[in-house]
């Protein structure tokens, strides 16, 4: 009887312990994905007191196929980051995970634990990882990369010891990890070959880039860039544009990019402008007489907004930063906290990503690389290349991911191909077809993201068709409207090049602010019509909500239909290099408005051609009468904001928040005008407001006025 009693007591105690473990684990998991940082922090702190049984219970749920696996993944990841600054806790957690890995059966679960052992970077994990090296299991590559990440003497010794005993393919994995430790990057040398006809023009262009890299003489190079010219597109223009730096073919390349740009004026953006500006002085001989004036005019008229920009300059990591947390975690930090965390992380991860030979390379050690700027809707081109067993991806708006991987990795489902939205659960996650090139060859993505939907072309083949990208960090929320783009670090070598992005911004009309409405302002130009203007409406046109000066289409001034005496006039303007215009005030419709009325200069006065101007000729000055302060114009291509208040004989000009002129015409001309010329218009008390062009391209928007 007593024996039965003790057995029952043992069972009851065991049941109570098991229930307590379950409650402890479940109470933590219910806070992931987390919305309230306080709840998540409390849960993470409670995990520090867990028993081995609690950890076993948690990690076994990595074998689950539903939301429990996701919750467990997020909780484990958060905990490892939570204790990152406590060496004692890191060591204890490494020991716990090393001990508990034997309870996890799934490839996903064991891979995740190995990954976090690498993050913990403690020698407590080395013994477990060393066993995986010698087990000839599918985890050899993961274990080797983890030991390389730990990077301690014990870890490196384990890799060297494992290499001596290993047979292929394990030997290749371990050698690759040691190469990473020793900063030896894999190189795939191109050879010049004429390939068979590509299935589409995108692949054809990729092949031509490979041939150009391997070409050894000017004749080969000329043949290749001439072939690229027969594939009219943004990417082909940029490819040929890179040959402007090659003295052997730069003149031929300049002619090609000029003709391509003039043939398709929709190819535009900062990157295109830079190529064309580089091409202009290289066009010589008979071609220059016709092409150069046309190209210069085209460059001047090319908008600075809404075009392709390069995200990688081929030289360094300018425009990129190390990864700090995830979008939700970052949103909970103060600006100061985020700035400090970013500085620390940037310093810690130096060398994980490098620029080498015009490529952006992940060395196999570290975390994601993120753009400094955030993006909403966009169109993106990017070339990528991986090595055997490679695994990478591109996060859109901070969210994983457009997948990149070696399609031979059937054990993780990679046979479906790259370009799918890997982390989708409700919407399609797999690519429509396999379009990957062979390992070691370049691939190219064309990614279009509008709203929450993503379209991906891989090597010219549609692989993801207008599919919703789910919010991995909290599936109850839609994808973030604006966030950074990230290149995923997944422990294997990956190289990127030719990263170009164009923001997709809707054409919108400008409107008065509520404050301006209360103050009595009215709109003169909102981007939708020219109803308030007369005069040279042939040379001042609306393009994408902006008023653009087209000097080649019409000459003369543009005036308001109404006359104004005393007023507050606000507008925005965008200069082009060396451009000159003017704001006429109280002007009649005939005569030189600078004299029969008054003119306020609108001028790129930092251009070399204006180095000898008189003080009263610089931007914002009342021409010939009152000089304005210099140094407050924004760089070419940026939008300046200006306010002009005219009240009686007093004029005040504010540029980008700084008062650059505050004067009285009556007082300024007591001893004559500054330019010693007659200005009868200074005596006028009313007249039209106008733009007084001088044959240069300039842009205006958001024009409003209030009568005083």
Q: Quick one: 600 and 522 in the same domain?
A: yes
Q: Are 139 and 114 in contact (CB under 8 A)?
A: yes
Tokens in use for 78? 């958060």
Predicted model pTM: 0.74
Amino acid 20: pLDDT: 44
Q: Residue 192: inside a domain, yes or no? A: no
**CATH number, domain with residue 426:** 2.60.120.560
Q: Residue 323: inside a domain, yes or no? A: no
Tokens in use for 641? 């904001």
Tokens in use for 527? 């981007």
Cα 553 from Cα 129, distance rounded (Å): 72
Counting as low any pLDDT under 50, the low residues of the chain are 1-21, 188-194
Q: Quick one: 561 and 459 in the same domain?
A: no
Instruction: Give yes or no for a cis peptide into 33 (omega within 30° of 0).
Output: yes
Domain holding 290, by residue range, is 201-310
Amino acid 12: pLDDT: 38
Amino acid 467: pLDDT: 97
Which of 471, 503, 535 corresponds to the end of one domain?
503
Q: Residue 322: inside a domain, yes or no? A: no
Q: Residue 315: inside a domain, yes or no? A: no
Residue 273 Cα to chain centre, angstroms: 19
Q: Quick one: 245 and 365 in the same domain?
A: no
- Helix ranges (H only) for 448-606 are 514-519, 593-596
- Name the residue with tokens 């490529």: 359
Q: Quick one: 523 and 656 in the same domain?
A: yes
Q: Quick one: 497 and 526 in the same domain?
A: no
Q: Residue 623: inside a domain, yes or no? A: yes
Amino acid 127: pLDDT: 81
Amino acid 149: pLDDT: 79
Which of 266, 281, 310 corresponds to the end of one domain?
310
- Name the residue with tokens 């975390």: 367
Q: Quick one: 576 and 637 in the same domain?
A: yes
Which of 147, 181, 215 corresponds to the end of one domain?
181
Q: Residue 188: inside a domain, yes or no? A: no
Q: Quick one: 493 and 352 in the same domain?
A: yes
Q: How many CB atoms lie within 10 A of CB 615?
A: 12
Cα 661 from Cα 194, distance rounded (Å): 65
Q: Quick one: 628 and 491 in the same domain?
A: no
Q: Residue 189: inside a domain, yes or no? A: no
Amino acid 67: pLDDT: 62
Amino acid 16: pLDDT: 38
Q: Quick one: 364 and 495 in the same domain?
A: yes
Q: Quick one: 670 and 523 in the same domain?
A: yes
Q: How far apart, in Å, are the Cα atoms of 5 and each of 1, 9, 16, 54, 165?
A: 6, 6, 17, 28, 55
- Please give the sequence-ordered ranges of beta strands (E in DSSP) within 123-252, or none if there are none: none
Q: Quick one: 299 and 368 in the same domain?
A: no
Q: In terms of Cα–Cα distance, which of 225, 228, 227, 307 is closest to 266?
A: 307
- Helix ranges (H only) for 48-152 are 52-60, 67-82, 87-100, 107-120, 126-133, 140-150
Q: How many residues does the chain have?
A: 708
Number of domains into which the chain is organized: 4
Q: Residue 635: inside a domain, yes or no? A: yes
Amino acid 66: pLDDT: 64
Q: Quick one: 464 and 542 in the same domain?
A: no
């Amino acid at each position: 009887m007593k024996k039965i009693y003790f057995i029952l007591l043992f069972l009851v105690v065991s049941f109570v312990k098991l229930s307590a473990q379950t409650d402890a684990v479940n109470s933590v998991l219910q806070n992931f994905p987390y919305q309230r940082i306080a709840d998540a922090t409390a849960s993470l702190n409670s995990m520090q007191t867990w028993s081995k049984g609690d950890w076993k219970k948690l990690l076994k749920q990595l074998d689950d196929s539903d939301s429990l696996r996701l919750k467990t993944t997020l909780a484990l990841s958060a905990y490892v980051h939570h204790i990152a600054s406590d060496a004692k806790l890191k060591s204890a957690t490494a020991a716990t995970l090393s001990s508990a890995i034997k309870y996890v059966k799934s490839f996903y679960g064991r891979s995740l634990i190995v990954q976090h052992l690498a993050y913990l970077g403690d020698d407590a994990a080395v013994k477990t990882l060393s066993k995986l090296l010698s087990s000839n299991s599918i985890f050899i590559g993961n274990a080797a990369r983890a030991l390389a990440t730990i990077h301690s003497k014990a870890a490196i010794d384990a890799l060297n010891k494992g290499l001596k005993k290993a047979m292929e393919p394990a030997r290749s994995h371990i050698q690759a990890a040691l190469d990473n430790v020793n900063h030896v990057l894999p190189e795939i040398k191109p050879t010049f070959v004429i390939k068979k006809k590509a299935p589409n023009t995108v692949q054809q262009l990729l092949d031509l880039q490979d041939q150009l890299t391997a070409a050894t003489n000017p004749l080969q190079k000329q043949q290749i860039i001439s072939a690229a010219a027969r594939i009219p597109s943004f990417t082909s223009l940029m490819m040929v544009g890179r040959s402007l730096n090659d003295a052997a073919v730069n003149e031929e390349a300049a002619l090609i990019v000029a003709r391509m740009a003039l043939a398709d004026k929709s190819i535009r953006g900062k990157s295109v402008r830079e190529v064309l500006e580089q091409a202009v002085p290289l066009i010589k001989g008979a071609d220059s007489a016709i092409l150069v004036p046309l190209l210069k005019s085209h460059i001047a008229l090319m908008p600075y907004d809404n075009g392709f920009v390069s995200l990688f300059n081929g030289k360094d990591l300018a425009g990129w930063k190390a990864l700090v947390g995830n979008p939700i975690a970052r949103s909970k930090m103060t600006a100061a906290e985020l700035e400090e965390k970013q500085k620390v992380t940037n310093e810690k991860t130096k060398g994980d990503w490098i620029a080498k030979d015009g490529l952006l390379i992940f060395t196999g050690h570290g975390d994601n690389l993120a753009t400094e700027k955030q993006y909403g809707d966009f169109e993106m081109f990017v070339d990528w290349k991986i090595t055997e067993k490679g695994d990478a991806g591109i996060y859109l708006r901070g969210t994983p991911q457009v997948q990149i991987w070696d399609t031979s990795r059937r054990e993780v489902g990679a046979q479906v191909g790259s370009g799918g939205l890997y982390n989708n659960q409700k919407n399609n996650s797999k690519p429509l077809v396999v379009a990957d090139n062979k390992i070691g060859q370049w691939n190219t993505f064309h990614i279009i993201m509008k709203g929450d939907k993503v379209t991906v072309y891989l090597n010219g083949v549609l692989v993801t068709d207008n599919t919703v990208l789910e919010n991995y960090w909290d599936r109850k929320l839609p994808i973030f409207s604006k966030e950074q783009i990230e290149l995923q670090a997944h422990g294997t070598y990956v190289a990127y090049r030719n990263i170009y992005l164009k923001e997709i911004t809707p054409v919108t009309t400008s409107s008065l602010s509520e404050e301006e409405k209360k103050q009595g302002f009215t709109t003169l130009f909102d981007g939708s019509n020219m109803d308030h203007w007369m005069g040279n409406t042939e040379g001042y046109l609306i393009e994408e909500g902006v008023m653009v000066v087209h000097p080649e289409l019409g000459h003369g001034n543009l005036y308001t239909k109404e006359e104004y005496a005393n007023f507050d006039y606000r507008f925005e303007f965008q200069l082009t290099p060396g451009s000159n215009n003017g704001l006429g005030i109280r002007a009649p419709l005939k005569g030189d408005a600078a004299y029969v009325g008054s003119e306020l200069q609108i001028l790129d006065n930092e251009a070399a051609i204006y180095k000898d101007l008189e003080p009263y000729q610089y931007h914002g000055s009342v021409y010939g009468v009152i000089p304005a302060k210099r140094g407050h114009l924004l760089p070419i291509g940026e939008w300046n904001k200006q306010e002009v208040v005219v009240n009686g004989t007093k004029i005040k000009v504010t540029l980008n928040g700084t008062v650059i002129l505050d004067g009285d015409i009556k007082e300024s001309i007591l001893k004559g005008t500054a330019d010693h010329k007659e200005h009868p218009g200074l005596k006028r008390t009313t007249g039209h407001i106008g733009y007084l062009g001088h044959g240069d391209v300039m842009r205006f928007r958001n024009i409003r006025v209030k009568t005083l």
